[in-house]
Chain A
Amino acid sequence: MRCSCCQTILIRNYTLREIFITGSFRCFHCEKYFSKIDPASACAGCGRPDISGLCHDCQQWEKEVGFVLNNKALFSYTEGFKEWITAYKFKGDYRLRGAFATELQQSLKAYRQYIICPMPLSAERFSSRGFNQVSGCLDMTGCSRQLLLGRQETPPQSEKTRVARLNMPQVFYLIQPAEKIRNQKVLLVDDVYTTGRTLLHGAELLYKNGAKVVNSLTFAR
């Protein structure tokens, strides 16, 4: 069996449980890349670790847009996570998509009644990268997902400064009829929560079209 992250062959004895039940392992090195965030001590709005109640940023958002997301983040945005996302998203090694399938599957259990919606890429970005990095990870968990949003082409997020990101205009539009969302619970899934601007744009649009609850889940915070 190979490490779900770096693809090297794992040399150790597997337990029966590992062989038959869970399908995703990480090797000793990659295990260090991912440090889990304890949701009990994380910010209720954005999932930032070691905050009680709402963090400063989320209080600002609450004033500005009128709601917070209840974002849940799986891992801290550490050097290791950066390495993984560089190899996966920017270099484009699609094989790395199962790096934390087990953890993702666990956390999705709390969102049974939700429509799971990955954050979209613009059409141009999708055709050059070849995959949506969020959908790729979600597929490995076997959950059903539905793309509700589309996205206009903009320069890459990761090249922008914090201020530029915060002042970004709405880039999303609905690609499904509004009836589909009305009175539904929606879970937006994204790779990294940085300022929250992108996810909040998506959530605003969904609320405007009648969604009952919009929550979010990100791989890293």
Chain B
Amino acid sequence: MNILGQRLLLNEWRLFYPQIDLKAAKRVPAMIKRDNQWFCQRCGSLSVEKLPADFYYCPYCIDLGRISSQEFLYYFLPNKQNSREVTLEWSGKLSPAQAEISKKLVVDQQPAKRFLLWAVTGAGKTELLFALIKNTLENGERIAVASPRVDVCNEIYLRFCQAFPKEAINLFHGQTRKDQGDSFSVCTIHQLFRYFAYFDVIIIDEVDAFPYAGDPFLAQAVKRALAVDGRLVYLSATPSKEIKQVVEHCYHLPARYHRRPLPVPRLLFSWNLERQLKVNKLPKKILDRLFSLLEETNLLLFCPNIFLIEQLGNYLKTLMSEVSLTTVFSQDQERLVKVENMRKGKYQLLLTTTILERGVTFENISVVVLQASHRIFTKAALVQIAGRVDRKGETSCGEVVFVTSEMTYSIKQAIKEIKQNNQRALAEGLIDAL
């Protein structure tokens, strides 16, 4: 049985598991009336959206399929699982700092409930989790690894499959449902709404990423899917103050496993940047910098919005006919293909929005952030973007450049945080030199 724990509507059961007989299933009304509002039993929101046919629906979780006050949610009661053997096949080696945190994470599981693993970009967070996952599964407990990003889900799913070849791992997100077992799931946070009080451990990757950060709606998904005595592990490279406050244990890993410091962003001021962008051009100073960077490495150019990407893409194509370049953004149909091609080094220049700010690794790359003062580039986003550089392989001369016409608090804080991490890593002897 791989259907335990899920609480689905009748049409979802018919679609996903047509062979399941729902006679033995328990059911709850999909929405409950509370005063003048209707409480959605799937996402926990209150709805006032009434339809002419005289019933209500919940607009908040409509992306999972509309839920209405006429319907019921069906589920099977989870049974108690026994402890068992779990094989971990992973030949890599953790650095001493990684190993220590990995061990602590397992030991501390008993008394505490909320954890934060604060590790810089490219520190090897996924590998740190193997011990915890193995331990949890061996105790007969259920675990979910959730991330707000589909790309991140896909990537960590592959790595878990390699590390735990004998485990049946689920992968759920908007585009896929890979259904294999019922004790280990990798999914987007939205998919957690389909579970209720089920997982003993939920690991949330990239807690500071859009759309999870600042969206209480998604925090609700995690809360509802967590079992009564469940534990939460947050992973982040740039945790917010609020998260640091709610956790009982915070493990900080300020350096990458390859013992090189994080690249510190350089600022490039351009006073007439906005004026030039308005006519879809770039100031000469910036163009020169782009050319000199392109001679050394490939380049990611982050832009604040899609419109600008399209305009600049055309503009740069005419200027740099010999450079292979392309654009990518969230609604792009070929997004995954383009990212894969970039990984293989097929493009020298990739114009992108913040969708590529995390979860992706390119070798031999430099990063330029255009209009770093734009409010879409928060401190977390800037730190993440800077973290794309020099992640793996041999030492590269990749650079991080923030192009801006004004200094903002986010830029200042981002640079400060990167420098602090480097200092701390040096003090702890985790990197060789600055």
Contact = CB atoms under 8 A, between A and B. Distances in A.
A and B pair up: yes
Give the secondary structure class of B's interface.
Answer: loop
A12 interface: no
B62 A130 contact: no
A61 B53 CA distance: 35
Contacts of B377: none
A136 B62 contact: no
Contact of A130 (B52, B59, B65): B52
- In this complex, the interface size class of chain A, counting residues with CB under 8 Å from chain B, is 10 to 19
Interface stretch (A19-27, A37-45, A89-97, A171-179): A89-97
Contacts of B57: 92, 94, 130
Contacts of B52: 130-132, 135-136
B219 to A, nearest CB: 19
Contacts, number: 32
Q: Which among B51, B65, B331 has the greatest number of chain A C-beta atoms within 10 A? A: B51
Interface residues of B, number: 13
A126 B53 contact: yes
Contacts of B409: none
Contacts of B331: 29
B327 interface: no
B309 to A, nearest CB: 13
Contacts of B49: 94-95
A164 to B, nearest CB: 25
B68 interface: yes
A120 to B, nearest CB: 13
A91 B66 contact: yes
Contact of A129 (B53, B62, B307): B53
B53 A93 contact: no
Nearest to B51: A130
Interface string A133-175: 0011000000000000000000000000000000000000000
A28 B51 contact: no
Q: Which among A126, A127, A130 has the greatest number of chain B C-beta atoms within 10 A? A: A130
A130 B307 contact: no
B51 A131 contact: yes
B59 A95 contact: yes
A91 B55 CA distance: 16
A94 B51 contact: yes
Contact of B53 (A28, A29, A91, A131): A131
The 5 residue pairs across chains A and B that have the minimum distance between CB atoms: A130-B51, A130-B53, A92-B66, A131-B52, A131-B51
Given A91-B66, A93-B59, 13 more contacts: A7-B59, A29-B331, A91-B62, A92-B66, A93-B66, A95-B49, A126-B53, A127-B53, A130-B51, A130-B57, A130-B68, A131-B51, A135-B52
